[in-house]
Structure formats: C-alpha cells, structure tokens
Amino acid sequence: MTKQPDYAQQFQKAFKSLCHSRSNWKVWGDFILMSACSISNAVDKVMLEQREQMYMRAIQGYSRDELETIAQLFVFTVLALEENPDQDFLGDIFDFVKIG
C-alpha cells in the first residue's frame, strides 16, 4: 500500500521557503490574492483588467523561482481538495501561518 501524499506538509514546507525575506502575512496575502485573481479571471471576464493589475502588483518582489513556488502552493491546495473536498484545507493551513 502506497502512502498518500501529505499536501499540508508539502504546502507548509514550500510556504516557509518564501518567508525568509518577508512576513508570513505578506506571503499568505499574496498567495490568496494571486489564487483568487487567477480563478476569477478564468471564469469571469468582468473586471479582468483590474484583477490583472492587482495580480501584477502582488508578484512584484518575487523571483521567478518564488513565483513557481507560489504556483506549487496552489497545486497542493487543489490536490488536497480533490482528495478530500469536505476538508477545510486552507483553514488548517491558515492556523499554521498564524503560528509560523
């Protein structure tokens, strides 16, 4: 029997790697904003340009590798929710962010 991936643990490790030069709150806020803009722009074209501007402001100050890590955070979130749609994945992660 193969062990299931621990997406929360993978998320936390990747998240911590982004917090060396900025606060947990900054990284969390940027991750949430970028994720929300990406999802919204994919399904709703109203105010697309405004959301795109918010997204572009949020990515400033992150390196290409860091932006790839932020994208990976989103992937971990999606995979965790696909595995168990009834969980509060981001709520549990938020508890980690508050303590971290």
State the pLDDT at residue 2: 61
Tell me which residues of the chain have a pLDDT lower than 50. none
Q: Give the integer Cα–Cα distance in Å for 12 and 9.
A: 5
Tokens read off for 79: 């995979």
State the pLDDT at residue 7: 96
* 8 A C-beta contact, residue 99 and residue 30: no
State the pLDDT at residue 100: 63
